[in-house]
Structures are given as structure tokens and as C-alpha cells.
Structure 1
Amino acid sequence: MLSKPLTLLFCSAPRSFYATVPVRGKKTCALIIGAPGSGKGTISNWIVRDFGLTHVSSGDLLRAHMRDGTTLGKEAKAFIDRGDLVPDNVMVGLVASELKKLGDKPWLLDGFPRTQPQAEALQAETPVNVVVNLDVPFDTIIDRIKDRWIHPGSGRVYNLIFNPPKVAGKDDETGEDLIQRDDDKPESVRNRLEVFKANTAPVLDFYRSMGILKDFHGTESKKIWPHVEAYLKSIM
């Protein structure tokens, strides 16, 4: 018996009509939220590995649709080519259509929704019933990212602390110079994080009010993971 029930939203009913049902025994429809540099990719990989969820990345999905020239991909590309943001209805349609293709398979969504209207629209199409929020201090994230250097030709990423190149400033395979992107510099990272916080706070409040969000605090993925793992085991 689940000690703390989770909430599912069916269709677009008002908040007062939400039904409370346990996740155990039902398909897991999970969402992971975390700031850039929070370790979201690492935790996502471990969730997929250990719990058998299908990983759905909104960014990868968008690029695939544009590459394959699908109707949704062409529509999204038209906005991007003009320098505009892809509208919510296009992104929701893109993500929801992919999730519906999975049928009864459990999934883990990553990278979407980014705003409360997106969250509400997605919930009406393909309801989420588990939300994992990685709450990592911004100073920790800045420390991680400021030491990140990239080989522009291949996209290989190095970190001067965790994964340094064999030769300082040089790519391991080609020997070519590494660069630091402008948006990896501390002042740029902090600005990005503040924007993320402002946009994401209403999303977190939305899911928290439904009783389906769990916060995980920490500074290292390997220390956060056991708590995420234990939580998922307790509800799945």
C-alpha cells in the first residue's frame, strides 16, 4: 500500500476534479527537472538503466523531427529559422505525440515542460504522475561549468576538475585547442540559472500542488542518486 498517494490529472478538468490514485501497479509517467549542470543527464541515465523507463528528451525529439522533415518538424523549424521560440502548442503536440506512441511502456520525460502553461497543456494530453526535481545549489553548478572546456570539432567535453585533458588545453584525440564557450563563463552561467529559476518555479508549484513532485537536494549526483532510487522503488 502506498503511504503517500500521487495525483493524476485526467484530460483538462479543473484542479478540484483531480483524482488521487497510487502509482504502484500503473504505468509510470515520470518527469525529471533540474537546472543546466545539475546532473540531470546522469540521474536520467541511471533511472532508465535501473527502472526500465524509456527516456524521451524534448531536445533530441525536436532535432529528430526537423532532421526527418515531419510535419511538426517543419513547423518547428520555420519558427526557429525566423529566430522565434517554438510555440507551446507545437512543442506540446510534438512531445505528446511521441509519448502516446509508447503505449503502455513507462517513460521518463526530460527537458519539457519549461513553463506552467506548457505543463498544464501537457498534463491534459499525456498526464505525468511522478516528478523528480534535482535541487542543486547554483554555486555548485557554476563551479562545475566554469571548468568545462570543449573541442569544437567533435563536441568532446572536458572538465578541468573531473575529466581533464591529458595535455592542458588540448583535445586528447586530435591535439587541437580546446575552447570555453562564452555561455560557460561564470557570469553567463549565473544569468542562465536565474532565468531557469524564474521560469521553472511556477512549474514546480504546479506539480507540487498536485502532490506528485519530490525534491532532492544535494551537490553530487552519486550522493543524490540513492535517495532518488529509494523513492522510485517505494512508489513503483
Structure 2
Amino acid sequence: MINIVLFGPPGSGKGTQAQHLIEKFNLKQISTGDLFRFNMKNDTELGKLAKSYIDKGQLVPDQVTIDMLIDELRKPTETNGFIFDGFPRTAVQTEALETIVKEELNSEISICLSLIVDDAVLVERLLKRGETSGRTDDSNEDIIRDRITEYYTKTAEVAELYKKQGKYAEVIGVGDISEISEKLFAEVEKIK
């Protein structure tokens, strides 16, 4: 089983590369953002709980996210593993994910893949995306820079944990999309 934690700041091409990894290795992507949207849209108990925090402008507690993740992993699927996107973002979440993967899948995190892109390129990509996506958070350079800074601040400790375990690989996320994919594939092949 291949279990990948996929890192990349906003605009790094993470969504595109996740799709390529899914197709190449028959993986299922679990995005915490998608889990939140699904649970709230379908008015599940976890969705209602998450919404109660969001409506008050509060962060949703880790345990709610963890419970959504466990529910998702328990759904039957014919895959060779998972891509975790948006989780973990802290050391505590990293430990929780490792426990969940061990207990629910009898497996472990195989690798943390991190797409590296210069901030100036990220800003340019997001502003361009903002012109067509309608996303207001992609239309304001100050907001974009804040999101990028927040990403680095939050994920630094997680990257360190995976580096210590020898499960961390960086790939430059600039250039030909298929060449970037091939570099990611090569990192995954090393651990198979």
C-alpha cells in the first residue's frame, strides 16, 4: 500500500499532480477541504459539528477532522493507497494520521512529497487563476502572500518530522507538468 502526504503551497500545482499520482498508482485522494464540504453539504453529524465552529469563526478542532478522515478511510475502495491533501498540518495531526493509518489500514505513511515553487511564481499563478476562477482569495496579492506564509509556517514542523523519518522528498514544481509528474513518480517508485 502506498500512502502519500502531498504538500505544496497554494498555486504549486498540487491538484494537478495529485491527479497524475492517482492515475499512475491507483490511489484515492483524501482532501480535508472536500471532506468538510461533503459532510456539511450532506448535513452529517460531523458536518453539523464542523459548521457550528465555522459559523462562530472558530477553527474546527482536530478531532472533528480526524473523525471525518476515519469515516472516509472506512469506506470500501479498490485502491493501492491514499494521497492525504490538507492534512496533516501540525505535529499533533501528523501523529494522529500515523495512528489512523496504522489502525485503520494496517499500513504507514510511505512518503511526504513536497512541491517547491518560488513565491513570486506562486503569486503570479494564483493571480492568473483568480482572473478565471472567480475565487476572491486568488485575486488579491496581499491575501495570496498571507496564505503562502501561513502554509510555510504551518507545515514546517510536519516536514521536519518526515525528514527525521527519512520519508520526505522535495520536487521542483516549475516547468513541464509531465516532467514534474515523472519526478514525483520516481520518488514514489523508490519506496515501493
Q: Which category of TM-score, normalised to the shorter sequence, fits these structures? A: 0.7 to 0.9
Compare relative contact order (CA 8 Å, sep 6+) and give the higher one, 1 or 2.
2
Instruction: Give unmatched runs, 5+ long, in structure 1.
Output: 1-26, 151-155, 158-178
1:187 alignment partner in structure 2: 142
Offset, 1:182: 5.4
AA paired with 1:147?
Answer: K
Task: Provide the secondary structure at the position in 2 that maps to 1:114.
Answer: coil
Q: Count how many residue pairs are aligned between Structure 1 and Structure 2.
A: 184
Asked if residue 101 in structure 1 is aligned to residue 57 in structure 2, the reply is no
The CA RMSD measured in Å over matched residues stands at 2.0
TM-score for the superposition, normalised by structure 1: 0.71
Which residue matches 2:89? 114
Mapped to 1, the partners of 2:68 and 2:181 lie a distance apart of 30
User: Which range is displaced more, 27-36 or 216-225?
Assistant: 216-225
Q: What does the per-residue CA deviation read over 1:71-104, in whole Å, with 9 as the maximum and x for residues that have no partner?
A: 2111111111111110011111211331233577
Aligned with 1:128: secondary structure? coil
Residue aligned with 2:57, SS = coil
Give the distance between the partners of 2:130 and 2:87, measured in 1 at CA.
26
Q: 1:183 Cα shift?
A: 4.8
Q: Which amino acid aligns with 1:227?
A: K
Task: In structure 1, give the amino acid aligned to 2:187.
Answer: Y
Corresponding position of 2:188: 232
Secondary structure of the 1:31 match is strand
Gap regions ≥5 residues in structure 2:
102-107
1:186/1:63 Cα in 2 relative to 1: closer, same or farther (>3 Å)?
same
Quote the offset at 1:214 in angstroms. 1.1
Structure 1 residues 214 and 182, CA gap change in structure 2 (3 angstroms): closer
Distance, in Å, in 1 between the alignment partners of 2:159 and 2:70 is 20
* TM-score, length basis structure 2: 0.86
SS in structure 2 opposite 1:146?
helix
Q: 1:46: Cα distance to partner?
A: 0.3
Contact 1:36–1:193 under 8 Å retained in 2: yes
| Matching residue's letter, 2:35 | L
Separation in 1, partners of 2:111, 2:74: 17
Pairwise CA distance, 1:196:
0.9
Deviation at 1:208, TM superposition (A): 1.4
Identity of aligned residues (%): 33
Matched ranges for 1:135-154 at <5 A: 135-150=116-131
Per the alignment, residue 43 of structure 2 pairs with 69
Partner of 1:134: 115
Equivalent in 201, 218, 221 of residue 156 of structure 2: 201
